[in-house]
Amino acid sequence: MVLELNTENFAAAIASGICLVDFWADWCGPCRMLAPIIDEIAKENMDITVGKLNVDDHPELAGKYNVMSIPTLLFFKDGQLKDNSVGVVSKNVLQRKIDALK
């Protein structure tokens, strides 16, 4: 399941374990292309947290993490930013990044 993240639940979502956060926007074509891949990652990795954060609704969080382009994926482990990916990438690339954090 992909969580809808916002300023209220973001810190708790990344606080423990592995968390993948998709910074996206409704108007972003590449974000829409990446969405099914994010859904698959969430279904196949039930031991991690997968969330989406709309940058239009929460620009302060995008700014905090220097998100300049979308889609941007940030990989957290126990609250610490460990890796990132910008643009549309394959499921295999994302899975390798997740596996490296496990």
28-86 confidence digits (pLDDT tens): 999 999 999 999 999 999 999 999 999 999 999 999 999 999 999 999 999 999 999 99
Q: Active site residue: 20, 28, 34, 38, which one?
A: 28
pLDDT band at 16 (very low <50, low <70, confident <90, very high): very high
Q: What Rg, from alpha-carbon coordinates, does the chain have? A: 12
DSSP 8-state assignment for residue 19? E
Phi and psi torsions of 9, nearest 5°: -110, 0
> Which of the four pLDDT bands, split at 50, 70 and 90, describes residue 98?
very high
Coil, helix or strand for 20?
A: strand
pLDDT score, position 26: 96
The predicted model scores a pTM of: 0.96
pLDDT interval class at 6 (50, 70, 90)? very high
Domains of the chain, first to last: 2-101 (3.40.30.10)
Q: Per the residue annotation, which of 31, 34, 37, 67 is the catalytic one?
A: 31
**Distance of alpha carbon 17 from alpha carbon 92, whole angstroms:** 21
DSSP state of 89: -
The verdict on whether 19 is a catalytic residue reads no
